[in-house]
């Protein structure tokens, strides 16, 4: 068969490219779609590595052994804000901030992990396998604790860096660049800009953001000089907004208080307070969007890429937790997004209330209060002599189907609401909270809130703390006859014995008495008797397990982390 197709006839989806053109791009990827302008930029431009050393960090050899989420350990053992390797070694601290990457977030955040770098990393440096071969790799130590910008090694779709000024060690998954103090904001502005991600896609379409790729991003030094002040102004504002957002949640180590309780948003009811706060969050998000687009505009113009890129940033890429378009992935309507945000905000309010019940937080003092192993009420009162809301005395808060004890969690929550928003609006606030938790109107608001504590609070707590809960749920079984929370930092070896004598056995007695008061054996009375009987049986079976564990006087060490310590109470606590 004769092929009559002319060599000049265009063929759909067919590209001609010179092999020499590919060599202009670091790594020589087969990026046949790249424009001549982009090839020219790669060929003629400087690169990020010339302005900011780009480094991989520590490989521990065993992250389970050497890493912790920051809330797991005693706060006084954490070295925050140290500026050098030598300062860290002299501090006597054991745990230090660790940049480990994390989910896609730009400008600031993902500060979650700690690494055991006691005595200059003595344990990690000497960590070997059974044959004596060192498993760890503490590389680029001279850059530890330095001001940097860090990013996540792997991302599903985006690239963006975060400012790090917390005196952190960094690992492979949280690789980092180290610009000079005078260049850091401009470099962050470049690496968070739209075309930086565009360059990354050219060099590495797999979206594994390796140090070599980042170092090879074209960097126009003339831009960093001529428009430095303008870029710095935008970037510093972007970092500040992102930092304020990150620190508004209790999973940040710089958290001080809940936004819903800050005076500038406070109104007579939670609904009105939330409405005012939500307006502020919208303004924050739109300002962030404006600043990001201005930052993009500067760099797109500087690189001469106006014909290829536009500065616009969709709301879904404005990486603030208070922005529902980013926070909740998926195709949802605005109404659905707003419903999710109000629900989570109320759950965060409840979580903070529980923190105040345990003394981790106080309405009268910003930040952490009781956050070290074995601390007691006396330690709390030293920091907060006249508390407006008193923490639980014995570190055991029952969650039961009814208010059997003075420190019942729903009763304490109502007390918390009275202190924070006043007694006059209690009913209105309970209604709003119940509605946010999904009330369908068939139960009273208080019953909906009790159901939430019984069935969902702990799941949400475990999720918030990424399967390393700091409040532990002791649970008798599927029937939920007995449930009690403790705060692990206040746990001591007598806690279980106290839980048994002052709560479990006392509840059993109350249920027995309640059962005996029912005289009839027919209809609803019979059903209630049978139900109470099952609860009593569950408690008696649980009592045997609890007594055995209580008699062991179990000690815990917060340095071992939640996973190890929680495992010591297997069979007594809710499975994670």
Sequence ranges of the domains in the chain: 54-327, 335-567
Residue-level pLDDT at 31: 54
> What are the CA-CA distances from residue 92 to residues 12, 79, 86, 87, 130 (Å)?
66, 8, 11, 9, 29
Residue-level pLDDT at 347: 98
Residue-level pLDDT at 155: 61
Start-end of H helices in 247-333: 270-303, 324-327
pLDDT tens, residue by residue, 141-172: 999 999 999 998 766 578 889 999 979 999 98
Cα–Cα nearest to 54, from 166, 120, 146, 189: 146
Strand order in the sheet with 54-55: 54-55, 176-177, 148-150, 162-164
pLDDT tens, residue by residue, 482-511: 999 999 999 999 999 999 999 999 999 999
Give the pLDDT mean for 46-67. Answer: 94
pLDDT band at 174 (very low <50, low <70, confident <90, very high): confident
Q: Which residue has the higher pLDDT, 223 or 41?
A: 41
pLDDT tens, residue by residue, 218-254: 987 777 778 899 999 999 999 999 999 999 999 999 9
H or E element, residue 10? none
- Rounded CA-CA distance 497/566 in Å is 17
- Rounded CA-CA distance 320/506 in Å is 47
Long-range interactions of 322-331: CB distance < 8 A, separation 24+: 322/245, 322/248, 322/281, 322/284, 322/285, 323/281, 323/285, 323/288, 325/285
Q: Indicate the pTM of the whole model.
A: 0.92
- Rounded CA-CA distance 573/576 in Å is 9
- Helices 228-246 and 184-191: crossing angle in degrees, nearest 10, is 80
Task: Sort strands 169-170 and 95-99 into parallel, antiparallel or unpaired.
Answer: parallel
Fill in the DSSP letter of residue 467.
T
- Rounded CA-CA distance 187/151 in Å is 13
- Rounded CA-CA distance 242/104 in Å is 13
Residue 20 has pLDDT above 70, yes or no: no
- Rounded CA-CA distance 457/343 in Å is 12
What tokens were used for 522?
A: 């027919």
Are 505 and 495 in contact by the 8 Å Cβ rule? The answer is no
């Amino acid at each position: 068969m004769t092929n009559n197709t002319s060599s000049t006839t265009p063929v759909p989806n067919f590209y001609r490219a010179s092999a020499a053109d590919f060599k202009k791009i670091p790594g020589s990827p087969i990026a046949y779609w790249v424009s001549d302008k982009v090839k020219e930029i790669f060929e003629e431009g400087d690169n990020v590595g010339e302005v900011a050393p780009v480094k991989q960090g520590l490989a521990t050899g065993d992250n389970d052994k050497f890493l912790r989420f920051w809330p797991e350990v005693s706060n006084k053992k954490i070295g925050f804000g140290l500026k050098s390797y030598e300062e860290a070694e002299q501090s006597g601290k054991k745990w230090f901030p660790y940049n480990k990457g994390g989910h896609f977030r730009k400008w600031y955040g993902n500060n979650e992990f700690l690494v055991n770098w006691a005595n200059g990393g003595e344990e990690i440096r000497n960590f070997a396998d059974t044959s004596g071969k060192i498993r760890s790799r503490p590389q680029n130590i001279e850059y530890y604790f330095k001001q940097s910008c860090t990013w996540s090694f792997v991302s599903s779709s985006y690239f963006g860096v975060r400012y790090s000024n917390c005196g952190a060690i960094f690992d492979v998954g949280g690789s980092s660049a180290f610009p000079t103090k005078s260049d850091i904001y401009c470099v962050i502005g470049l690496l968070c800009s739209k075309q930086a991600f565009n360059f990354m896609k050219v060099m590495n379409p797999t979206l594994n953001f390796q140090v070599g790729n980042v170092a090879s991003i074209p960097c126009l030094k003339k831009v960093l000089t001529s428009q430095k002040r303008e870029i710095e102004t935008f970037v510093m504002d972007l970092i500040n907004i992102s930092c304020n957002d990150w620190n508004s949640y209790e999973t940040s180590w710089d958290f001080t208080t809940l936004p819903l309780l800050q005076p500038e948003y406070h109104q007579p009811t939670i609904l009105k307070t939330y409405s005012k706060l939500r307006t502020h969050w919208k303004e924050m998000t739109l300002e962030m969007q404006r600043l990001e687009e201005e930052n993009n505009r500067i760099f797109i113009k500087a690189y001469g890429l106006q014909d290829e890129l536009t500065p616009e940033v969709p709301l879904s890429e404005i990486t603030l937790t208070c922005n529902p378009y980013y926070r909740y992935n998926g195709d949802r309507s605005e109404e659905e997004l707003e419903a999710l945000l109000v629900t989570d905000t109320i759950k965060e309010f409840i979580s903070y209330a529980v923190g105040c019940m345990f003394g981790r937080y106080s309405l009268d003092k910003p930040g952490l209060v009781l956050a070290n192993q074995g601390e007691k009420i006396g330690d709390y009162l030293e920091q907060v002599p006249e508390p407006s809301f008193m923490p639980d005395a014995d570190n055991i808060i029952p969650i039961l189907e009814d208010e059997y004890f003075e420190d019942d969690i729903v009763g304490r929550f109502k007390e918390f609401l009275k202190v924070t928003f006043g007694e006059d609006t209690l009913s209105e606030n309970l209604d709003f909270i119940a509605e946010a938790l999904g009330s369908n109107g068939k139960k009273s608001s208080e019953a909906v809130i009790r159901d939430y504590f019984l069935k969902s609070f702990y799941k949400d707590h475990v999720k918030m703390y990424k399967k390393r809960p700091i409040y532990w749920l002791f649970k008798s079984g599927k029937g939920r006859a007995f449930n009690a929370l403790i705060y692990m930092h206040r746990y001591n070896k007598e806690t279980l014995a106290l839980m048994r004598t002052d709560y479990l056995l006392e509840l059993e007695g109350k249920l027995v008495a309640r059962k005996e008061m029912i005289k009839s054996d027919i209809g609803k009375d019979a059903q209630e008797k049978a139900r109470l009987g099952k609860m009593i049986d569950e408690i008696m079976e649980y009592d045997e397990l609890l007594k055995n564990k209580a008699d062991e006087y179990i000690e815990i060490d917060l340095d071992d982390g939640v996973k190890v310590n929680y495992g010591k109470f297997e069979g007594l606590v809710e499975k994670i």
